[in-house]
A and B are shown apart, each in its own frame.
Chain A
Amino acid sequence: QKEVEQNSGPLSVPEGAIASLNCTYSDRVSQSFFWYRQYSGKSPELIMSIYSNGDKEDGRFTAQLNKASQYVSLLIRDSQPSDSATYLCAVNTNTGNQFYFGTGTSLTVIP
């Protein structure tokens, strides 16, 4: 059973702070890791992909991957109220091109 675990939250941070979202996965053969943002009533939007250990930065977003510890995280710097959404973690193994999703972490950025 491949599992992706996320803290469901809700996570609340003040505007301008750093929001930290965490995700762990159980399958060591997982190779690709993704973060999606989902606004209420909308479909998920891909915001970050990471494949190698370490950090990957894109604007205010930084994804961090540690394969040895089987976790991936997303940092959102200078959080804005528009970042308020549910963030889904997903992993893809190298077999069958299947994706496994966590249940999501709800983030609220307080003005």
Chain B
Amino acid sequence: DGGITQSPKYLFRKEGQNVTLSCEQNLNHDAMYWYRQDPGQGLRLIYYSQIVNDFQKGDIAEGYSVSREKKESFPLTVTSAQKNPTAFYLCASSTPYLAANRGEQYFGPGTRLTVT
């Protein structure tokens, strides 16, 4: 089955610790994204990557870092510099814009991070 996996589903950390969230896809998509969703809020873009070894900051990149060493993988590190890290983190990938299904974006199941 093709899809996007995120692990772990729930993650608990103490304040001041860095934590890395995993995102893997086997859809052969070039583009991958990280969003953050807070209760009752919309999706906010943290980072995105259009191709391996390249990524761009989104609207709320401060306190986060990413890498894109493989097409299938786009891990997100939440650093201790992130002021309010507790949130629901969503990874997504998308089909190429010029394809018949123009830029359809699919989401993983998410990781719920709680920092105390």
Contacts and interface: CB of A to CB of B under 8 A. Distances in A.
A25 B43 CA distance: 16
B73 interface: no
A51 B43 CA distance: 22
B102 A92 contact: yes
Contacts of B110: 42-43
Nearest to B42: A103
Find the residue from A90, A98, A102 having the highest chain B CB count within 10 A.
Answer: A98
Contact of A99 (B41, B103, B108): B103
Interface range on chain B: under 10, 10 to 19, 20 to 34, or 35 or more? 20 to 34
Contacts, number: 55
Contacts of A103: 41-42
Interface string B7-36: 000000000000000000000000101000
A99 B94 contact: yes
Interface residues of A, number: 23
B107 A44 contact: yes
Contact of B103 (A44, A92, A101, A102): A92
B63 interface: no
Contacts of A90: 105
B39 to A, nearest CB: 10
Q: Which of B90, B97, B109 lies at the interface centre, i.e. has the most chain A CB atoms within 10 A of its CB?
A: B97
B106 interface: yes
Contacts of B106: 46
A97 interface: yes
B108 to A, nearest CB: 6
A83 B43 CA distance: 21
A73 to B, nearest CB: 18
Contacts of B109: 42-43
B102 A32 contact: yes
B97 A104 contact: no
Given A97-B96, A99-B94, 9 more contacts: A32-B104, A36-B107, A43-B109, A49-B101, A92-B97, A97-B31, A97-B50, A98-B45, A102-B42
